[in-house]
Amino acid sequence: MTSFDAFFSRDANAFRPSAIRAFAKLVNDPNVISFAGGSPNPDTFPAERIAEIAARVVRERRAVALQYGPTRGLPRLCDFIASLAASRGITCSGADVIVTTGSQQALDIVSHTLLDPGDVVLVELPTYIGGTSSFYARSANVVGVAQDDEGIVPESLAEVAARTKPKLLYTIPNFQNPSGRLMTQERRTRVLEIAREHDFLIIEDDPYGELVYVDGADTTPLKSRDEDNRIIYLGSFSKVLAPGLRCGFIIAAPEIQQRIEIGKQAADLCSGMLDQSIVDEFCAAGELAPQIAKVRDFYRGKRATLLDALEQHFSGRAKWTHADGGLFTFVTLDDDIDTAAYVEQSVKNGVAFIPGAPFFVDGSGRNTMRLTFARESDERMRSGVEKLARTLSSSRT
Ligand SMILES: Cc1ncc(COP(=O)(O)O)c(C=O)c1O
């Protein structure tokens, strides 16, 4: 056949490749100091414990770990997730939880369950590209709302909501990817009020809420005060345990959960039972809390090093976010600097970063970039920031 164009669905024609994957190809060289990744550091994965648990569940619990399981997830794991949610202020039981194949599957299935072509989804400027990919894949109309250092700007949300009549708002209030920002509790209250006023649902995506590096950061989810159950809360074990164990979850109103469950039956029958069994055993043994403490300790110093190096080399010529948690800081340079134009030169000079524009659905953000502190040693980060400052001072070649 010469062309398959006539066979692709309308939704497939709306698929958008991730603009940052193209940059990721540039950064596999170990000689390049990389601020570009979006993944947790493998040194945080409790590999030996996972190996031990995996061997045990395969040998001793094969009828569970190697078998199909309930679409909603392993019951004991659902109960554990409900208790985890309760520790974050969310009242629910195991029956309110659906385990998913990473929170990325949650984004896909929620989009499939709620969106028709042309429906408006509001997203933060900037936002997570995997979120917008799921919305575009359902031919949604994705519209940006302004964000500042306190989170979503309520005036912008109210104005855009009145103009576009959205069905959904997608928000990442805790240490957002890509900005690293933490939305204040006041803003969260306003966002919820505006959602009630304009009657839209909210997807609250919270994979980074446990990765806190400073005292006093209030990460209490919006879902904790969701009196009319309009929030679909997503969580994940990827950043605290290991993303290869594809294990995320959804907590939402029973009526929405029932539909999501049917959608998930069509998608994959159930999430990987081996992955769930490993996560379940790990959590049931009481190991998640100490693991989270270790992960925080691992990143705390790295985050401080990156912020310190930025202070040293970018002071007065850029602004960057505090990144009190999560994996990223987001840098804003002078308006006339297009960071994408510097990527290639920067990689040649031995440093990789992610230009910020792909995270903005309205085409803005050309003068921004995302830097992760997850990957490199302190020494390489210091040297990398110095090189980056030099590259961004030079004229483009
Ligand atoms: C904001 C956000 N949501 C969801 C995901 C997907 O995570 P996972 O599918 O591994 O749970 C990521 C991954 O980087 C993310 O940054």
Judge if the beta carbon of residue 374 lies within 6 A of ligand 1. Answer: no
Judge if the beta carbon of residue 359 lies within 6 A of ligand 1. Answer: no
Position 395 scores a pLDDT of 61
373 CA distance to ligand 1 centroid (A)? 17
Atom of ligand 1 nearest to the CA of 107: 4
Position 397 scores a pLDDT of 44
32-77 pLDDT, tens digit per residue, is: 999 998 899 999 999 999 999 999 999 999 999 999 999 999 999 9
277-324 pLDDT, tens digit per residue, is: 999 999 999 999 999 999 999 999 999 999 999 999 999 999 999 999
Percentage of residues in the chain with pLDDT exceeding 70?
A: 98
Rg (CA), the chain: 21
105 CA distance to ligand 1 centroid (A)? 9
Residue type, 205: D
354 CA distance to ligand 1 centroid (A)? 17
- Tell which residue, 81, 251, 85, 235, has the closest CA to residue 172: 235
Position 128 scores a pLDDT of 97
Q: Average per-residue pLDDT in the chain? A: 95
Q: How far is CA 243 from CA 40, 273, 371, in A?
A: 8, 15, 20
Position 394 scores a pLDDT of 77
Judge if the beta carbon of residue 205 lies within 6 A of ligand 1. Answer: yes
Adjacent-strand bridge partners of 168:
121, 201
Judge if the beta carbon of residue 178 lies within 6 A of ligand 1. Answer: no
Adjacent-strand bridge partners of 355:
369
Percentage of residues in the chain with pLDDT exceeding 90?
A: 92
170-229 pLDDT, tens digit per residue, is: 999 999 999 999 999 999 999 999 999 999 999 999 999 999 999 999 999 999 999 999
Judge if the beta carbon of residue 38 lies within 6 A of ligand 1. Answer: yes
Supply the angle between the helices 254-268 and 102-114 in degrees, to the nearest 10. 110
For ligand 1, pick from 44, 103, 107, 275 the residue to mutate: most ligand atoms within 8 Å of CB.
Answer: 103
175 CA distance to ligand 1 centroid (A)? 12
**Segments of the chain assigned E as strands:** 33-34, 97-100, 120-124, 141-145, 147-148, 151-152, 168-171, 201-205, 231-236, 248-251, 318-320, 328-333, 351-352, 354-355, 368-372
- 336: exposed, middle or buried (Cβ count in 10 Å: 0-12, 13-18, 19+): exposed
394 CA distance to ligand 1 centroid (A)? 35
Q: How far apart are CA 370 and CA 389, in angstroms?
A: 14
209 CA distance to ligand 1 centroid (A)? 12
- Tell which residue, 245, 232, 284, has the closest CA to residue 115: 232
397 CA distance to ligand 1 centroid (A)? 35
Judge if the beta carbon of residue 100 lies within 6 A of ligand 1. Answer: no
For ligand 1, pick from 18, 104, 129 the residue to mutate: most ligand atoms within 8 Å of CB.
Answer: 104
Q: Which distant-in-sequence residues (6+ apart) come within 8 Å of 22 by Cβ? A: none
Judge if the beta carbon of residue 360 lies within 6 A of ligand 1. Answer: no
Atom of ligand 1 nearest to the CA of 105: 9
Q: Which distant-in-sequence residues (6+ apart) come within 8 Å of 28 by Cβ? A: none
